[in-house]
Amino acid sequence: MKTIGILSLTLLLGMTLSASANDSVTEAIGNSKQWAIQTGDYANTRYSELDQINKSNVKDLKVAWTFSTGVLRGHEGSPLVIGDIMYVHSPFPNTVFALDLANDGKILWRYEPKQNPDVIAVMCCDTVNRGLAYADGKVFLHQADTTLVALDAKTGEVKWSVVNGDPTKGETNTATVLPVKDKLIVGISGGEYGVQGHVTAYSIETGELLWRAYSVGPDDQLLVDPEKTTQLGKPIGKDSSISTWEGDQWKIGGGTTWGWYSYDPELNLIYYGTGNPSTWNPKQRPGDNKWSMTIFARDADTGMAKWVYQMTPHDEWDFDGVNEMILTDQEVDGQMRKLLTHFDRNGLAYTLDRETGELLVAEKYDPAVNWTTGVDMDPASETYGRPAVVAQYSTEQNGEDTNTTGVCPAALGTKDQQPAAYSPKTNLFYVPTNHVCMDYEPFKVSYAAGQPYVGATLSMYPAPDSHGGMGNFIAWDNIKGEIKWSLPEQFSVWSGALATAGDIVFYGTLEGYLKAIDSETGEELFKFKTPSGIIGNVMTYEREGKQYVAVLSGVGGWAGIGLAAGLTNPTEGLGAVGGYAALSEYTALGGQLTVFELPD
């Protein structure tokens, strides 16, 4: 690991947003009494300045009120709170509720999309949706069928709608969207169906398509400049993507963009990651398969990529790179630098300079990770920035129709999309993780539009020779590249974390517990079992001088797909059903928002 100094001072980007960002979003984020964006701020820190609930009194939390969404599938994301209105979403059919917090949560309006239920069959890993966005008096929903809708925040009236993809080809949506300036940044799902992933900017005012940048393909589709777009300081060169695919395989090459987006208003750059290459059988797609599994930094106005970094070239394990990019300003070797921290599915935690794309740290954040010995950190090396693959766990080297056993992590990664949190008070990142390994057997598969294009059979199980559980909740030092402490969990931690100025961190468990821990030590201070497993993201807000904490519960997602979809074959759910079979002994389906408060 490259040593980059001792952390002594951290500045939250979310506290210093400039006027170049969308003014309505900037103003809403700047008011800590609200929860105006899914990730807490543009920097994706999931940190709140509220401190009424703190480590001395969090043990006294009680349920303030609850709300049922009426849907029994996986509930990811969180509500938004703007003023006295809370906006709640559901999984498919993606109903939106506006609740009046000044009137006992009375439903002010609801939006009920009319979607073709056939879209459910082409959603990879449950019918989840990661939440709404707000800007300029509008609430934005990206539906499962890829219809993007702008709703009047006061009335629910549809102001405009556009279609972002084609479900008959396998293009769907599970992600939220990001309002930036006059644009709405929107991704696409469908990596298991051989789609060509992309990010699109639409006009917040009209829904007009302003630019679209693909993850794989020719330079003009990628929105890259061969001489100016760089990877690790070097120009990527002409045809950087298609030269790493065989023939026209890139046209069904995946690289979908169903994760989270962050934004630096000073640099005017948007950051996000791309997903797995298609198919899961690496033998059928020789080459690095650029730019799947890649961090992109793009100009918000034009979509042009400033820099890229491919984390897992020629992915052999379905280690999507879509997890959140957390932006912090930190002291490195005595100098303040703009950093980006990313916990990848591949089990490596990366720290980069977000202005230049320089790689500073790449370390395992679960000791069980075994597919690689680590990343080459020598800038003079020909393999600089690449992970060294352990032959025993290479699904390609072992060959088609050969079961590669004991690969850690499993395809759902050391962390999936469940977002981490960051506290400027401790300078630590709080990370929900999966402590899961797999057996992986690739086989030859043919492409047909709208049909699964996977080509692998998987089984999953807890990492051996450890605590026997399938998850940990860890505190991570992004400068040293090391775990400060780790809390074992029986199942994967599939909930987004929340850190607050009250010196506490919240997260949920698949059994349904909301937990609060000491942000410095990890000591458990509070837990409460909600009606169903938690895969939602914890949020907080304040109203009339009282702080509240809220979380959606409703088991599902990839880890809970067996329960959510009624699957029983151990290899179904892309291998997750067997791995999480015991989950049914601890929780059942649900769809409820639970809001907590301190006693009066």
Strands 96-100 and 106-111: antiparallel
Task: Please give the Cα distance from 416 to 439 (Å, whole number).
Answer: 18
387 neighbors 346 (Cβ within 8 angstroms): yes
Which candidate in 41, 145, 219, 318 is catalytic? 318
Question: Which two structure tokens, joined as six digits, stand for 482?
Answer: 């090391």
Which tokens go with 74?
Answer: 């996986």
Alpha-helix residue ranges (DSSP H) falling in 72-224: 219-222
For 114, residues 6+ apart whose C-beta sits below 8 A from its C-beta are none
Q: What is the DSSP letter of 572?
A: T
Give yes or no for a contact between 337 and 330, defined as CB atoms under 8 angstroms apart.
Answer: yes
Cα distances (Å, whole numbers) of residue 70 to 106, 110, 218, 510: 15, 12, 45, 20
CA 382 to chain centre: 31
Residues 317 and 344: beta-carbon distance below 8 Å? no
| Residue 255 contacts residue 320 (beta carbons within 8 Å) | no
Strand duo 198-203 + 209-214: pairing: antiparallel
- Residue written as tokens 């009066």? 600
What is the C-alpha separation between 137 and 135, in angstroms, rounded?
6
At position 342, the amino acid (one-letter code) is H
Tokens of 467: 């605590």
Phi, psi (rounded to 5 degrees) for 461: -165, 165
> Which secondary structure element, helix H or strand E, spans residue 563, and what is its range?
helix 561-565
Give the residue from 184, 196, 175, 428 showing the smallest Cα distance to 322: 175
Contact in structure between 440 and 451 (CB atoms under 8 Å): no
Q: Calculate the CA 596 to chain-centre distance.
A: 25
Q: Does residue 303 sit in helix, strand or coil? A: coil
318 is catalytic: yes
Strand order in the sheet with 513-518: 47-48, 498-500, 504-508, 513-518, 524-529
* Residues with Cβ within 8 Å of residue 582, at least 6 apart in sequence: none
Cα separation, 268 vs 195, whole angstroms: 29
Peptide bond into 226 cis (omega under 30): no
* Tokens found for residue 3: 């040593």
- Dihedral angle sign, alpha carbons of residues 313, 314, 317, 322: positive
The position carrying tokens 């960051």 is 422
The span from the CA of 39 to the CA of 4, in Å, is 27
Amino acid letter at 35? W
Indicate the DSSP class of residue 311. Answer: S
CB-based contact 403:393 (threshold 8 Å)? no
Catalytic positions, please? 318
